[in-house]
Structure 1
Amino acid sequence: MSDTTTTPDRPPLPDRLAIDPRSPHHVAAVFEHDIGIRFNGKERFDVTEYCISERWVKVPSGKTLDRKGQPLLIQLKGTVEAFYK
């Protein structure tokens, strides 16, 4: 599943992670390192939030913005794997 091996300089990857610093699922220490997300066997570079146990990722829906100016996100379901690069 996910590569959660830790070295002294890498924190374990959480089950749920978001890139938005306003989210309660944002862990700044993880973003000090390069991480990757594999969704249904393919590496994705546009994931803004993921949950491994619930098997979903959130990605922007094109250039569409919500009323607060943030990208409109869609939730895709499938196999999710997070790893350090």
Structure 2
Amino acid sequence: MTDSNTSQRPDLPDHLSIDPRSPHHVAAVFEHDVGILFNGKERFDVTEYCISEGWIKVPVGKKQDRKGNPLTIKLKGEVAAFYK
């Protein structure tokens, strides 16, 4: 049963963002649960990642920029994406 479910999932891109305005947003991927491993630990607050360049972006508390978007910082390390 799980084999047919996994065959319908799109491949995870190298660079993915949760922001629908981003050119790196792929809506079909978000129809499934996606997990991110950063330096061997699962992170639940990732807003954007790039596997080949080895970084993730995470929000900085509740701070927002002048347009109301959360402020993010880029963390560098080993990144892996997977379907849950």
TM-score range normalised by the length of the shorter chain: over 0.9
Higher helix share: 2
Q: Say how many residue pairs are matched.
A: 80
Q: Which digits, 9 at most, give the CA deviation of each residue in 1:18-67, with x for residues without a partner?
A: 00000000000000000100000000000000000000000000111001
1 CA distance for matches of 2:49 and 2:29? 14
State TM-score, norm by structure 1: 0.91
The alignment partner of 1:67 has SS state of coil
CA RMSD of aligned residues (A): 1.2
2 CA distance for matches of 1:16 and 1:70? 20
Question: How many percent identity over aligned positions?
Answer: 78
Matches within 5 A, 1:1-85: 7-85=6-84
State TM-score, norm by structure 2: 0.92
Letter in structure 2 aligned against 1:51: C
Q: Which runs of structure 1 show a deviation greater than 4 angstroms over 4 or more consecutive aligned residues?
A: none
Rg bigger for which structure? 2
1 CA distance for matches of 2:20 and 2:30? 11
- 1:9 to partner: Cα distance: 1.2
The alignment partner of 2:8 has SS state of coil
2 CA distance for matches of 1:59 and 1:13? 19
The alignment partner of 1:31 has SS state of helix
